[in-house]
Structure formats: C-alpha cells, structure tokens
Structure 1
Amino acid sequence: MTLRAGVLGLGVMGRHHSRVLNELEGVEFKGVYDPSDAVPSHIEGKPVVRDLDTFLDMGFDYCVVAAPTIYHLEIGTMLASRGIHALIEKPVASTSEAANELRDLFTAAGLVGGVGHIERYNPALQSARQRIQDGLLGDIYQVTTRRQGPFPGRIADVGVIKDLATHDIDLTAWVTQQEYVSINARTTFRSGREHEDMVLAIGTLSKGTIVSHTVNWLTPFKERTTIITGEHGSLVADTLTADLTYFENGVRHHQWDDISQFRGVSEGDVTRFALDKKEPLRAEHEAFRDAVLSGDTSAIVTLAQGAAVVATAEKFVADGLEHRLTTP
C-alpha cells in the first residue's frame, strides 16, 4: 500500500521533511502547504499550496506538521477532523494543555499521532539505549547533556527550553526509561528576546538517576553531547557525528586498607563503537510510515510522550523564572 503524504510549513525543517518524503519507499509525496508568498511555488517537483482547505482536499493519509509551534493545535485539530494521521514537529504544542488536547483528539479519532523528537533516531543514542538495556553500565547514576550553539533566527515563538531542551528531556527519559520527578533551573535573557536563551537545568529521575542539561543559543560553536554514567563506566554520545564511545571502569587492587575501603573508580579500556549511521530524519519517517500502516506505535514518539515532554519543559521554564535575578 502506498501512503499519500504532505507537509505543512516550508521552513528549514519543512524542506528537510519534503526531501525525505519525496524519496521514501511506500509513500507518495503530494505537496506542501505554506501561506507565505516568500516560499517557492514548488518543492521537490511538487506544488506549494497557499490555501489550507485546498491543500487538504488533495487527499492525504498522513501529514507532517512543520509550521511554527503556535499553530500546531489548530492544524492538528483540522487533520484529526479529516481522519489524517500526523507527525508533528517538536515541541508538539506551545502549552501542555494544547499538547494534551492534541493527544486526546487523535486518540478519540483512532489516528496515529507522532512527535518529531529526532534525537531518538540518532544512531549513537539508539545504540546507547540498547547497550544500557543489555546491562553494559549496570545501574545508571547520572545523565549529563550539553546542547549549545549560535542563535537560530528561524525560532521566534518559544525559548531555548521548548525549542532545544525538549530534545534532552525526551532523550534522557527514553534512554533511561525513567520519568522526571524533580527539577530545578536557572535561565537567562541575554539576547533581549521575550523568551529565555540559556538554561542550566538539573533534575532527578524516578529510579534515582540525577541529570543535568546545559542548553543555550549563545555559544559560538555547536555542541551536542550526552554522557551517561553508571556503575560499570560511561557512554559518551556525540549526536553531531553519531559517534558512541564507552569508557569502562578499571579494576585496581590496593594494599592500603584505607584506600581499599573507598569505592571509587579508575580508568579502564576505551571503546569507540562502529555504528551504521543512517540519517535520523529518514529513520524517523520510516518508523512513522510503518506505524501508520500497522498501528504499532512502539517505535515512534507518541503524542502522550510529547505532551509529557512539554509539561516537564514548562516546569523548567517556571522554575527558571522563579529564580530569575533582576537588576534594581
């Protein structure tokens, strides 16, 4: 069966989604909706339609929502009312209330709804999750993420927490299979925008793992690093290069009783894993296509999971505002 698919929104991500859909096996890419006169009339040889109703009348099995976050609820509601499955870019909605409404709409309609948390499909993180499940690290003590780089001019409707830190919130919960139970955050507003542009966040997960996230738009270099530390060693994932390295705890025997009582660690072997580096966006689309065909949503980020990420992000935003320093 060939699925008919389209994209709503022709920004940076909309163009990437269009490219992948146009090449995706088992999918007929029919076109894009974008009301702006500033975008081209065609993409990947398919029409860019300016009117939403006209676009939806073209007939779709599923669509990708790559419009600004503030429009996700409105567009998602229209798709659900027409019986169209949807892959919605992250964050799934501007507020947890809107995210929950989308979740309930698609559930009631019996439709597959997914969220574009693309980091789940990064080969380094997928391999890390599998190795953790296989017991490589033993108990997980800590997850540290660093996601920083220059300001992207395309983001105007949310701050760095909902735009970028949502990646780290989702991947941390997914890799560890735990939920956030406590959070604290410090944020800054250095660029003069309405929303925060830098966050230092810490938290605790449901099995006692501690986490920290450093996320900002104010660093003149790009970094995407996840460090997962457990009782047997650490996994370091660079999601820019999709590399995964394992630093194993070494074993050293001490004659001195006082030292031998200290349960510390020492440096051991270092292993850089060879991974099959499939493009994460393509893997995400393949998973969503298969979910639409089979109804099995185990390989996608569900709307319920996306809503939980937004709720956690809102707690980080609120805590950051509560502790915001003001100049007299």
Structure 2
Amino acid sequence: MSTHKPLRAGLIGLGSMGRNHARVLHGLEGVELVAVADPVAARGSAPAGVPLVRSVAELAAAGIDYAVVACPTALHEEVALDLAERGIHALIEKPLAPSVRSAETIGRAFEKRGLVAAVGHIERFNPALRELRTRLELGELGEVLQVVTRRQGPFPARIADVGVVYDLATHDIDLTTWLTNSRYESVSSHTVARSGRPHEDMVGFIGRLSCGAITSHLVNWLSPLKERVTIVTGEHGCFVADTLTADLWFHANGSQPTEWEGLRQFRGVSEGDVTRYAVVKREPLLVEHETFRDAVLGEEADIVTLKQATDTVAVAEAVLAAAADGTSVGLDPRRPLTPL
C-alpha cells in the first residue's frame, strides 16, 4: 500500500458481525476508526478509545471518509442512501438489500455521486476459494460441470430480519457466480420453516448456470453439524474446499484403467490422486477490509461491486419465488452479466 494520510472510517452497527468489523478496523493499517454508530449498543461496547454515537448524522459529523454498514439488512437502504447523500464511501454487509428494487436504488445513489461502494461477500476472500478460483482460471479442471455447496449449522441468535436464503444462501450464490464467472439462468427450490420464526430456516435449491454447469445448494439453520463445503466438478476431476478451515483438495480423474469388471460398470471415471494444497491462510475479513481501503484510495482493488451484489439478490428472490410457487424460475436474461 502506498503512503497516505490515514483514512477516517466509521462503523454502523455493533451486532455480532459489527463487532468483528470493529476489531479489524481498529487495527487496520492506513485506517483510523474514528467512531461507531449504534442506537441501542451498550456504552463501552465500542473498541477502547473509540466514541459511540447514536446516528449516522453524528457519525458523519466526526468527519469520516468511508463507513462500514453492519446494521440489519432491512435498514441498509435507508442508511446507504444517507451515506451517499453525504458523499461518504461505503462497505455494506451482505446481502446488499432485501429486494432487487432496494439494491438498485442503492446502486444508483452511489453511482450518481461517483462514490466507491462494495458489499461484504466475505467468501470471495476465503483463502481456499481464492486458490480454487486461480486454479479454475488456469484451466486445471477443464470445463466446469457442477458446483455443489453445503452450508449448515445451528440457528444464530444474531439474525432476526431475514431467513436462511438471504443470510446464508447469498454466500453460495455469490461464490458460485464468482468461481465460474457465470450467471444463474434458472433455479428451483424448496424451503422449510421449523424453528417457529416467520422466515425459512432450511432451503435446498438447484440451478443452471450460463456456462452450462448445474448447481446444487443445501443451506440450513437446523443442523448441529456446522459445515461449509464447496465442491466443483469438471473434466479433469473435482476440487473440494472447506471454508471453515480454508483447506483445499483436488481429486484427480485416474489415468489407470480399472481391471475389476464389477467396478468398471459403475464408474464414469476412475479414481486418481488426491492432493491437499498448502494455502496461505490470512483472515478473510482483514483481506476484505484491505481491499476496500485500497479501492477508496483509488488503487486497483477487486471489490464486490453493487451491481454484482444486486445480481445475487435477484437470484435469492428467484429462489424464494420458486419455493413459493413450486416451479422453476428463470432469471431475466435482459439483466446483463456483471463482469467478475
């Protein structure tokens, strides 16, 4: 990073994710966390020495260059539009908004004012997935045939305003389009609500991507097993990424013929070598913040743009619509594929 006067950053929201943002911002090179805004947080809950204020107006009055928005999704549009009107750059937690209409409204506001804005789809900064994407771009897998994800675990008490599709499945939607540089063309899904809340807590959905690959995603808050797995299968084998541990394996198609007749009849490919890669494991949230900081400074930085995040919201809407109608829902082909 070039030598610059430290950027002045503010944080909106001190919930579970907000506290993580506060921790990273408080120690981020080239950035000074000058204040945190939360209307209900307890005094003393902000990092030591950082003032706690109650509104965006008070936060802006502290003189900030950019803000991190970590309040509930339902408030994103109101807060983001306020920041845009004040000329403040923003890193907004995912999902960008609770609807495509809201996401597009936010996008227009920041674009109109020429501000830097990004969305915190943190899986793009997971070491295992970054390594996987690099290897896919190098053609190591050949044609991608299928992407499978499993994201499940106990219900998090931090969530109150959205269901599992917007809170968790948006991770899988975004990482799938990012890994394959493709868009969803259609989805079909089923949801379950078993925890007594108004929102769904389990979803299973399949999709077809513009590259021709098919996808399958299992996401829930009903499992005592916490699992974060992405499997990408292609011409030459499959990659398996565990994003909880940031481990990546490659299972190669075998080159040796199977002589056992009984096995040969049931296998399209033979089993080959299994490789576990040594991946440098930096904290994804720190890398996300470094990337956004660099973007604000005008340096080249691979942020998750508002347009990309709006595409993800569109797929999430389609997943819920497909579950409600019991049909397969096509994604509007007139919405252009945003370069990734």
Category of TM-score, reference length = shorter chain:
over 0.9
Match of residue 307, structure 1, among 305, 310, 318: 310
Once the two structures are superposed, residues 57-89 of structure 1 have per-residue CA deviations (whole angstroms, 9 ceiling, x without a partner) of 101111100000011001000110111100000
Residue in 2 aligned with 1:265?
269
Match of residue 247, structure 1, among 226, 247, 251: 251
How many residue pairs get aligned? The number is 323
Are residue 218 (structure 1) and residue 222 (structure 2) matched? yes
d(CA) in 2 for partners of 1:262, 1:150: 37
d(CA) in 1 for partners of 2:64, 2:102: 24
Using the TM superposition, give the Cα deviation of residue 169 of structure 1 relative to its aligned residue in structure 2, in angstroms: 0.1
Using the TM superposition, give the Cα deviation of residue 292 of structure 1 relative to its aligned residue in structure 2, in angstroms: 0.8
Residue in 1 aligned with 2:331?
none
Change (3 A) 1:41 1:143: closer
RMSD between aligned residues: 2.0
Q: Is the 8 A contact 1:19 1:44 kept in 2?
A: no
Pairing 1:1-328 to 2, within 5 Å after superposition: 1=4, 2-38=6-42, 40=44, 42-253=46-257, 264-294=268-298, 296-297=300-301, 299-323=302-326
d(CA) in 2 for partners of 1:139, 1:204: 15
d(CA) in 2 for partners of 1:124, 1:189: 32
SS state of the match for residue 154, structure 2? coil
Once the two structures are superposed, residues 107-149 of structure 1 have per-residue CA deviations (whole angstroms, 9 ceiling, x without a partner) of 1110011000000000000000000000110000000000000
Using the TM superposition, give the Cα deviation of residue 45 of structure 1 relative to its aligned residue in structure 2, in angstroms: 2.4
TM-score calculated relative to the size of structure 2: 0.91
Change (3 A) 1:153 1:62: same
Using the TM superposition, give the Cα deviation of residue 254 of structure 1 relative to its aligned residue in structure 2, in angstroms: 6.4
TM-score calculated relative to the size of structure 1: 0.94
SS state of the match for residue 39, structure 2? coil
Q: Is the 8 A contact 2:257 2:270 kept in 1?
A: no
d(CA) in 2 for partners of 1:175, 1:167: 12
d(CA) in 2 for partners of 1:60, 1:80: 13
Determine what percentage of the aligned residue pairs are the same residue.
57
SS state of the match for residue 42, structure 1? coil
Gaps of 5+ in 1: none
d(CA) in 1 for partners of 2:19, 2:164: 22
Partner AA of 1:305 in structure 2: Q
d(CA) in 1 for partners of 2:67, 2:226: 31
Change (3 A) 1:216 1:260: closer
Using the TM superposition, give the Cα deviation of residue 255 of structure 1 relative to its aligned residue in structure 2, in angstroms: 8.0
Q: Is the 8 A contact 2:13 2:70 kept in 1?
A: yes
Using the TM superposition, give the Cα deviation of residue 262 of structure 1 relative to its aligned residue in structure 2, in angstroms: 9.5
Once the two structures are superposed, residues 224-254 of structure 1 have per-residue CA deviations (whole angstroms, 9 ceiling, x without a partner) of 0000000001000000000000000001336
SS state of the match for residue 195, structure 2? coil
Using the TM superposition, give the Cα deviation of residue 274 of structure 1 relative to its aligned residue in structure 2, in angstroms: 0.2
Gaps of 5+ in 2: 328-340
Using the TM superposition, give the Cα deviation of residue 52 of structure 1 relative to its aligned residue in structure 2, in angstroms: 2.8
Greater alpha carbon shift after TM alignment, 51-60 vs 11-20: 51-60
Change (3 A) 1:39 1:247: farther
Using the TM superposition, give the Cα deviation of residue 47 of structure 1 relative to its aligned residue in structure 2, in angstroms: 1.0
d(CA) in 1 for partners of 2:35, 2:238: 45
Residue in 1 aligned with 2:332?
none
Change (3 A) 1:145 1:44: farther
Partner AA of 1:90 in structure 2: K
Partner AA of 2:144 in structure 1: I
Q: Is the 8 A contact 1:112 1:295 kept in 2?
A: no
